[in-house]
Structure 1
Amino acid sequence: MAFLDDNYLIGNATGKRIFNEIKDLPVIDPHNHANVREIADNACYSDAWQLFAATDHYVWEMLRKRGVPESLITGSEASAEEKFLAMAKVFPEIVGNPVYEWIHLDLKRYFGIDERLSEKTGRKIWNAVNEKLATDAFRPQALLTGPLNVEAMSSTDDPVDLLEDHERANAAFGRQIIRPTWRPDKAMKIFAPGWREYIDRVGKRFNRKISTFSDLIDAMRQSHDYFAEKGCLATDHGLELPLRADYLFEDADRIFRRALAGETLTAAEMDCYMGAFLAEAAALNAEKGWVTQLHLGAVRDVRARLFDALGPDVGGDVSNHYQDFLPALVSFLNRFDSKLKVVLYCLDQGHQATLATLARAFGENVRLGSAWWLCDHPTGMRRQLEYIGAVDVYWNFAGMVSDSRKLLSYGSRFEMFRRVLADVLGSLIEYGQMPEEETMKLAVAMAYAEPKRFWNL
């Protein structure tokens, strides 16, 4: 088996037959961080650095690990070419990490480049990629509807957003490909710096004074309705720890007023407010039949030097397998049992068993999300898929998501997932555990049909 050849990630003949059935299915991507303005503007990408690495903190972390100076990663003084060549110089040294596979998949599949990125090939690849990026075939809209084969995708958006770029992009496509996702974290995270300023923004956006928790929830309902008009079908909530759903509204209101007045809150008070807020958001979702995504476990910005210099979302987040997810999730899932579609994601492999068994216990509407972030690689995907088959039902898997800011990820990450899926299912057939006919139907369902149905896409 050669690097990224036809047998890549698939070690059995049956798996290869399964992959041939699913490899060309359209992409359904219910969760990503797409730059919708970039897609709507549809300008040519300026260069290979912008396309492959300018927004990808996975890449940034690998370059830092190999000693590339920050000035050649996120700095503003170095040119894009200098940054790309610095990446090329150390790229052979990150072999074994999925970043190595993803970027080479992108080069091979979309640019026809089989050479491996290195100091020796860096300038040649830079020139070859840039030459193609200057053509209309490599504009964002052409890539999405052409080689990436994206049928539906959902971005991640703030409740105060007007979503004008979504309208422009979908008008250009002639149909709704990009849907917004309602992510009210800034309103919920009462502990965050700038929370009071954000509440002011909400008030200005909806032309109302917000002085009580009830005022805020009314504004959130107005935003929720606005997103529904724009085709939204899901919300997303980033939580280090799950939140109980049995806090009293009047307690949350008291805490909200204190926080708005600048008073210091206890950890218990913050949990009360945030749990009440999440429950109110979930109730809105239940009314509309939206999916509620809970991304659990990310411990944010642990590297102070990095955060102080560059802010959030630059590669300073980690997992913690000591977190206890169970009590709060039991509270939340019981409150909305059979009333709400819920997808559960975790950052640490150690939490998969808890989430998978909860999904099993709470039935059809609660599903395990794809292997997320630090689990989003062939090893993590394979472990998760094997475990799902043992304790839950494959058919009820929520489906793959790219969770990416990078357009080409809709190709490389989905290909990686579909290959791992084919290998896992093929192995089960060859061990005599599953009949091939039913498994072929299952593979199509997991890769395309069932996520499309579950997410109402």
Structure 2
Amino acid sequence: MSFLGKGYLLETDAARELYDAIAELPIVDPHTHANVAEIVENDGWDDIWEVEAATDHYVWALMRDCGVDEELITGDASNREKWNALASVFPQFAGNPTYEWIHLDLRRRFGIEKRISAETADEIWAKTEAQLANDAMQPQQLLEAMNVEVVGSTDDPTDDLEYHERAVDEVSGVDVVPTWRADRAVKIDRPEWTAFVDDLEAATGIETDEFDGFLEALAATHDYFDERGCRASDLGIEQPVSRPVGERRARKVFRRRVVGSSLSEREVGDFQAFLLEFVGELNAENGWVTQLHLGSVRNYRDELFERLGPAAGGDISTQDVEFADALEHFVNEFDGETEIVLYTIDPTHYPTIATMARVFPHVTVGPAWWFNDSPFGMEQQLEYVGTVDLLSQHAGMVSDSRKLLSYGSRFEMFRRSLANVVGKQVERGQVPMDVARELVERLAYERPNELYGF
């Protein structure tokens, strides 16, 4: 089979037929890390490094793994030098989805079929630089070319949504919707939590030095997001905690933290459990989806975090988290009240969340996330979820991407993987072709629209 050819990832005739049915469907992407200002201002990019690697910690981590000096990744080297460094080690990326994503970008968006290497680096740089100067390669034009219908950004509750407001009038054909990401509010044990309390007051004009004001201000940002099209909250936590915690107890913990007292593990957990339930109540009132990204160990490499801060490629996965007991109170408290989408970074946790989704109709297994976002990881997850829960109730796909150009390649990889999984079932006589076609069309487009209410 030719590299990234027509049969890419499609192992059966049925898979090829199913992929043809969904290849051109619009992209609905509920969870990205989109730069909304970049989309609205529509200025575009200058070079291939800027568009493919300047914001992508997946690329950074693999370059480090190949021994590339940090100066040529996140340092002060020029973009041309960084691109040449990436190209020189890019053949070593083979087998990792990043190798396929970037080559797909080159083929689908630039029409370049040359493989990335030290020998082709200069040619690819020149050809992409010339194309990026054209209006057709500006963000809004690319979204149209990729047939993107919805982009869900990720936003702090204190963020000003001016660019989302502008997008309504200035970005045609695409709904750019915010997502209320409340990590900083919940993580009371982190040093940056007090800065969030101050930022919340500045953003809302509501005094947050007392607990009631803190909750009122959080609710005010929730309504502010709702008025601007938000359909979901998000929370990224390593170990979730949910249990009944009264407001009096949460207020006491809040006050202790505000005055600088150290908190016990129990106090931290109680505050997080109270706030998780508070967020669930806000979501139920406004009809939002509750997204939980669970289990990632952030900033595991100390030196990297101290030098570059978060989202620099220093995070890892662990099996050492617990979901069944930890989420039992929350999923029961909001049974039928709000849609809950669970993402887990470690695939060994799929049995827990898939069986939770089987038991609770309003709990959904989120897309294969982060280290699982590959043909292997996606197919493994889809096959498992389809046999334990219902594949038709899976959440579909999100890009989770920081770079706009990758939306098309990420969704193509998912749709091909989905077609391959269901195509095998057709070939084995498990599913009739007409039902299979309806199933893949649902997951590729209809299900995310239904789930998020777009």
Indicate whether the TM-score tops 0.5.
yes
- TM-score, structure 2 length as denominator? 0.99
Query: Matched residue pairs, number?
Result: 454
Alignment partners' CA distance in 1, 2:226 and 2:173: 16
The answer to whether structure 1 residue 452 and structure 2 residue 446 are counterparts is no
For 2:317, what is the secondary structure of its paired residue?
coil
Match of 2:364 in 1: 367
Could you say what secondary structure the match of 1:9 adopts?
Answer: coil
Aligned to 1:246: 244
Post-superposition Cα deviations, 1:28-75, rounded to whole Å, max 9, x if no partner, equal 000010011111111020111010000000000110000110000000
Q: Does 1:407 align with 2:404?
A: yes
Q: Report how far residue 194 of structure 1 moved.
A: 2.0
What is the alpha-carbon distance in structure 1 between the residues aligned to residue 242 and residue 295 of structure 2?
15
Q: Distance in 2 between matches of 1:63 and 1:124?
A: 21
* 1:429 maps to 2:426: yes
Match of 2:390 in 1: 393
Instruction: State yes or no: 1:420 paired with 2:417.
Output: yes
Structure 1 residue 175, shift from structure 2 partner: 5.6
Q: Are 1:46 and 2:46 matched, yes or no?
A: yes
Aligned residue number for residue 121 of structure 1 = 120
Which consecutive unaligned segments of at least 5 residues does structure 2 have? none
Aligned to 2:63: 63
- Corresponding residue number in structure 1 for 2:253: 255
Choose 171-180 or 188-197, whichever is displaced more: 171-180
Q: Does 1:284 align with 2:290?
A: no
Mapped pair 1:29 → 2:29: yes
Aligned residue number for residue 144 of structure 1: 143
Which residue identity lines up with residue 39 of structure 1 in the other structure? I
Give the match's secondary structure for 2:181: coil
In the other structure, the counterpart of 2:293 is 295
Question: How far apart, in 1, do the equivalents of 2:248 and 2:174 lie?
Answer: 40
| SS of 2:425 mapped into structure 1 | helix
Cα deviation for residue 270 of structure 1 reads 0.5
Aligned to 1:64, the other structure's residue is in SS state helix
Code of the residue aligned with 1:82 in structure 2: it is E
Amino acid paired to 1:68: V
For residues 75-130 of structure 1, give each alpha carbon's deviation from its aligned partner in whole angstroms, at most 9, with x where no partner exists.
0x210000001100010111111110000000011111111000000010001001
Once the two structures are TM-superposed, the CA of residue 408 in structure 1 deviates from its matched residue by 1.6
CA distance in structure 1 between the aligned counterparts of 2:172 and 2:100, rounded to whole angstroms? 34
- Structure 1 unaligned segments of length 5 or more: list them: none
Q: Give the Cα–Cα distance (whole angstroms) in 1 for the partners of residues 320 and 199 of structure 2.
A: 36
In structure 2, the residue corresponding to 1:156 is in which secondary structure?
coil
Q: Is the 8 A contact 1:245 1:278 kept in 2?
A: no
Task: Describe the SS at the equivalent of 1:113.
Answer: coil
Aligned AA (2:8): Y
Report the CA distance between 1:174 and its aligned residue. Answer: 3.6
CA deviations on 1:199-241 (whole Å, 9 max, x unpaired) are 0111121112113322211111111111011000100000101
Distance 2:438 2:23 in 1: 14
Q: Which amino acid aligns with 1:11?
A: E
CA contact (8 A) 2:289 2:452 kept: yes
**TM-score normalised per structure 1:** 0.98
In structure 2, how many angstroms separate the alpha carbons of the residues matched to 1:403 and 1:381? 14
| In 1: Cα distance, 2:421 partner to 2:24 partner | 18
Amino acid aligned to 2:312: V
The equivalent position to 1:198 in structure 2, one of 196, 199, 221, is 196
Match of 1:232 in 2: 230
What CA distance in whole angstroms lies between the structure 2 residues aligned with 1:72 and 1:388? 41
What SS does structure 2 have at the residue aligned with 1:408? helix
**Separation in 2 of the partners of 1:201 and 1:443?**
44
Q: Kindly report the root-mean-square deviation, in angstroms, between the aligned alpha carbons of the 2 structures.
A: 0.9
Q: Is the 8 A contact 1:48 1:126 kept in 2?
A: yes
Q: Distance in 2 between matches of 1:387 and 1:20?
A: 24
Which residue number corresponds to residue 311 of structure 1? 309
Listed as ranges, the matches of 1:168-207 within 5 Å are 168-174=166-172, 177-207=175-205
Letter matched to residue 372 of structure 1: W
- On the 8 A contact 1:44/1:135 being kept in 2, the answer is no
One-letter amino acid of the structure 1 residue matched with residue 185 of structure 2: A
What residue number does 2:10 align with? 10
CA contact (8 A) 2:232 2:288 kept: yes
Measured against aligned partners, the alpha-carbon deviations of 1:366-421 in whole angstroms (never above 9, x if no partner) come to 10000000111111101000001111111111110000101122100100000000
> Which residue does the alignment assign to 2:207?
209
Equivalent-residue separation in structure 2 for 1:432 and 1:359 (angstroms)? 26
1:415–1:174 distance in 2 versus 1, CA, 3 Å? closer
Q: Is the 8 A contact 2:38 2:44 kept in 1?
A: no
The answer to which of 38-47 and 254-263 deviates more is 38-47
Conserved? CA contact 2:149–2:174, under 8 Å: no
2:240–2:327: 8 Å Cα contact kept in structure 1? Answer: yes
SS at match of 2:297: coil
Counterpart position of 1:134 = 133
Whole-Å separation in 1 of the counterparts to 2:25 and 2:255: 51
CA–CA distance in structure 2, aligned partners of residues 44 and 212 of structure 1: 44
TM-superposed CA distance for 1:176, in Å, is 5.5
Query: Which deviates more, 238-247 or 425-434?
Result: 238-247
**Helix, strand or coil: the match of 2:235?**
strand
Say which is worse superposed, 339-348 or 171-180, in terms of deviation: 171-180
Aligned AA for 1:400? Answer: M
Pick which of 28-37 and 171-180 moved more.
171-180
CA distance in 1 between counterparts of 2:282 and 2:437 reads 37
Secondary structure, counterpart of 1:33 in structure 2: coil
Spell out, residue by residue over 1:157-201, the C-alpha distance to the aligned partner (whole angstroms, 9 max, x if none). Answer: 011112111122332124661000001111111111121122011
CA deviation string 1:130-172 (max 9, x = no partner): 10000000000100112x1100111000111121111223321
Alpha-carbon distance change, 280 to 247 in structure 1, aligned in 2, over 3 angstroms: same
| Deviations, residues 288-330 of structure 1 (Å, cap 9, x unaligned) | 1100000000001111111111111001110111211110111
Look up the match of 1:264: 262
Tell me the alpha carbon deviations over residues 235-254 of structure 1, each in whole angstroms, 9 at most, x when there is no partner: 00001011214112111110
- In structure 1, the residue matched to 2:163 is 165
Q: 2-side partners of 1:201 and 1:97: how far apart?
A: 39
